[in-house]
Structure 1
Amino acid sequence: MSLRRSRGYPATEAGYDGYDEYDEDLAPTPAEPVRRSAPASVRVAALVGYLAGLALIAIGAGAWTVWAGGDQALGVDRMGLLGADLRDVGPAGGLVYVFAGLLVLAVARRLHRGRQWVRVLVVAGCLLSIGVTLYVGLVGRGGVNVFAGLVLPVVYVVLLNLPTARSWYRDRY
Structure 2
Amino acid sequence: MWNAMMTGFAMHGCGKQALELFEQMDRQGVKPNDITFIGVLHACSHAGLVADGKWLFEKMVHVYGLAPKVEHYGCMVDLLGRAGNLDEAHKLIKSMPMQPNTIVWGALLAACKIHKNPNLAEVAARELLELEPQNCGYNILMSNIYAASNRWNEVDGVRKSMKDRNQERTRTELNRSKRLSS
TM-score with structure 2 setting the length: 0.28
Query: Greater helix share, 1 or 2?
Result: 2
**Bigger Rg over Cα:** 1
TM-score with structure 1 setting the length: 0.29
